Structure 1
Amino acid sequence: MSLSDPIGDMIARIKNAQVRNHKKVALPSSNFKVKIADILKSEGFIKDYKIETENNKPTLSVDLKYYSGNPVISTFERVSKPGRRIFSSADSLPKINGGLGIAIVSTPKGVMTDIEARKQKVGGEIICKVF
């Protein structure tokens, strides 16, 4: 099956799993998704992630995180979509909920949070925002 937006699919699967209070969610793996999962883990939005091989296809297994029974991720939405790419310079990167959330940005120096991109003074494509 061909997906037109694999990152959007990842976001939808994580959101749907959290609504159903699942502990884990499995999704097709790619290097880009692994980088996003790594950022989510380092920022404390998920517990952990693993790359497993199932039927010779890599699968990304994400352990979701809850606090007092509620999901840690309250908002997880795609900003730049395949039909409408959103780019931003380092100066105009958005602050998500007054700095409490993060924006994941794809820059020439790699995938990073908006905070890291501002520190390195590099802009790029705003992939999604997490709060």
Structure 2
Amino acid sequence: MSMTDPIADLLTRIRNANAIGSRKVKAPYSELKKSILKILKEQGYIVDYDPQMDGSRGTLDIQLKFGPDGEKVIQHIQRVSSPGRRVFMSSKKIPDVLNGLGIAVVSTSQGVMSGQEAKKLGIGGEVLCEVW
């Protein structure tokens, strides 16, 4: 079965697992999803992710992060650009999510990176999602 928007599927899996307090979630593997998870890990939104390859197919095992009292680290995760409505922004227009407390994930010509990193490098791109 083909998926129309695999990034939205990844974000929904994370959102649903987070909502029920599950510490682990699995998602189908892709390099783009792996890049998004790398940024979420670097920014402290997830504990870790582990790509499991089984021939040509694979999965991403994602460990979600919770605070010491079980509070959710990811309060909000939302798709910005979609296959039917692509959202491209120059480096000057990339948003400061929640006044700098959240992050935007941007796909640029130099790879997938956080909005802050894209601004520092002065490159724009497609805004994939926002997290806080």
Q: CA deviation at 1:55?
A: 6.9
Q: Which runs of 5+ in 2 are unaligned?
A: none
| Partner Cα distance (1:119, 1:13) in 2 | 31
Identity of aligned residues (%): 45
Q: Show CA shifts across 1:22-66 (max 9, x none).
A: 110001010000000000000000000001134752100100000
| Partner Cα distance (1:70, 1:28) in 2 | 27
1:71 aligns with 72
- Could you say what the CA RMSD is over the residues aligned between the two structures, in angstroms? 1.0
2:19 aligns with 19
Which structure 2 residues correspond to residues 36-115 of structure 1 after superposition, within 5 A?
Answer: 36-54=36-54, 57-67=57-67, 68-115=69-116
Size of the alignment, in residue pairs? Answer: 131
Instruction: Give the TM-score, by structure 2 length.
Output: 0.96
| Partner Cα distance (2:124, 2:25) in 1 | 31
1:52 aligns to what SS in structure 2? strand
1:3 aligns with 3
Instruction: Give the TM-score, by structure 1 length.
Output: 0.97
Q: Which amino acid aligns with 1:130?
A: V
Deviating beyond 6 angstroms after TM superposition, the runs of 4 or more aligned structure 1 residues are none
